[in-house]
Amino acid sequence: MALGSTAGQLSGWAVERTGPIASGPLAMVRRPVPEPGPHDLLLRVEACGVCRTDLHLAEGDLPPHRPSTVPGHEIVGRVIAAGERTSRFRLGARVGGAWLRDTCGTCRYCLRGQENLCPASQYTGWDADGGFADITVVPEDYAYALPEDAEAAQLAPLLCAGIIGFRALRRSELPPGGRLGIYGFGASAHLALQVALADGARVHVLTRAEQARRLALELGASSARDADDAPPEPLDSAILFAPVGNLVPVALAALDRGGKLAVAGIHLTDIPALNYQRHLFQERDLRSVTSNTRQDGRDFLATAERIGIRATVTTYPLSRADQALADLAADRVNGAAVLIPGGG
């Protein structure tokens, strides 16, 4: 079955039932092209990144919020229609759609600049259809202006992997010129490493995948070892990108006094018992990362343009979205996977 829009229809993939990726939780779908609401943009998708969150949704680690949802929240697209109350983007403009899709704007979290904690927050590809399709809808207030001259496949991973890695780096409070440990090295980690290096950090990558360790060294990491190994020096900060709770005590034990560990994923397997003296004493901190604010997104995209971040990508035609998720689950993706509508 070929994927491609016909008159009045879009083509894509939806999570029809959750389960191991080998069981085929994604199904090809054709649906009527949605009408954008008054505050929405209708986009023709140029590229959509494949995030581990999409895998968690397909496999049921994240309970679906609605039936038959189209996943995908690293969307690069062109505006082909717009609601009557939109004003920021012209027709044909290149726009990015990301994970955070809506917040109430009135709760105490929103009012104090923590909209990522809004209890009414909604998410692309979870609460509404996302970018595993050739056409999608994005609310204008949560869309990002994107460079016209960049490759769509290069931009897509920035819209979640990049933004959440940037927030995780902020949450880790890495001091200037500090020593950072990165546990797990996929789409988000390889972008966060570039930001940390640009700020003068020494970065040690700890991950089980040999090809990921090679990529880390190519990008400028000071060392790359197995995930269970100790880094060559105590760490000021660490970020856990791998969704593996067993690595929490490993990373905490690698911290120097006063060090901070930020857990970047939306899902994590159970954390084993911690030893207070070994893992937390001497003011070591364990902290979570929850989504992002739009300001995080704007700050990261400006940083990415300033320092010239380059994503390592493996592209797949939209028709192979199920294979892209399977490769991600098996750690066969080096860097980030990106879907391209009409790519074959």
Question: Which pLDDT score, from 0 to 100, does residue 8 have?
Answer: 87
Quote the DSSP letter at residue 22: G
What is the identity of the amino acid at 162?
G
DSSP code per residue over 211-263:
HHHHHHHHHT-SEEE-TTSPPSS-EEEEEE-S--TTHHHHHHHHEEEEEEEEE
pLDDT band at 342 (very low <50, low <70, confident <90, very high): confident
How close are the terminal C-alpha atoms of the chain, in Å?
A: 12
- pLDDT, tens digit, for every residue of 160-211? 999 999 999 999 999 999 999 999 999 999 999 999 999 999 999 999 999 9
Question: Could you tell me which residues come within 8 angstroms of residue 282 by beta carbon, excluding any fewer than 6 positions away?
Answer: 257, 258
Domains, the chain, ordered by start:
9-157+312-340 (3.90.180.10), 163-288 (3.40.50.720)
State residue 121 phi and psi, 5-degree precision: -60, 150
- pLDDT, tens digit, for every residue of 116-141? 999 999 999 999 999 999 999 999 99
For the chain, what percent of residues have pLDDT higher than 90?
96
Q: What are the structure tokens assigned to 340, written together?
A: 């391209």
| Structure-model confidence comparison of residues 343 and 25, the more confident one | 25
Question: Which pLDDT score, from 0 to 100, does residue 343 have?
Answer: 61
DSSP code per residue over 57-123:
HHHTSS--SSTTB-----EEEEEEEE-TT--S--TT-EEEE-SEEE--S-SHHHHTT-GGG-TT-EE
pLDDT band at 2 (very low <50, low <70, confident <90, very high): very low
- pLDDT, tens digit, for every residue of 207-243? 999 999 999 999 999 999 999 999 999 999 999 999 9
Q: Are 144 and 89 in contact (CB under 8 A)?
A: no
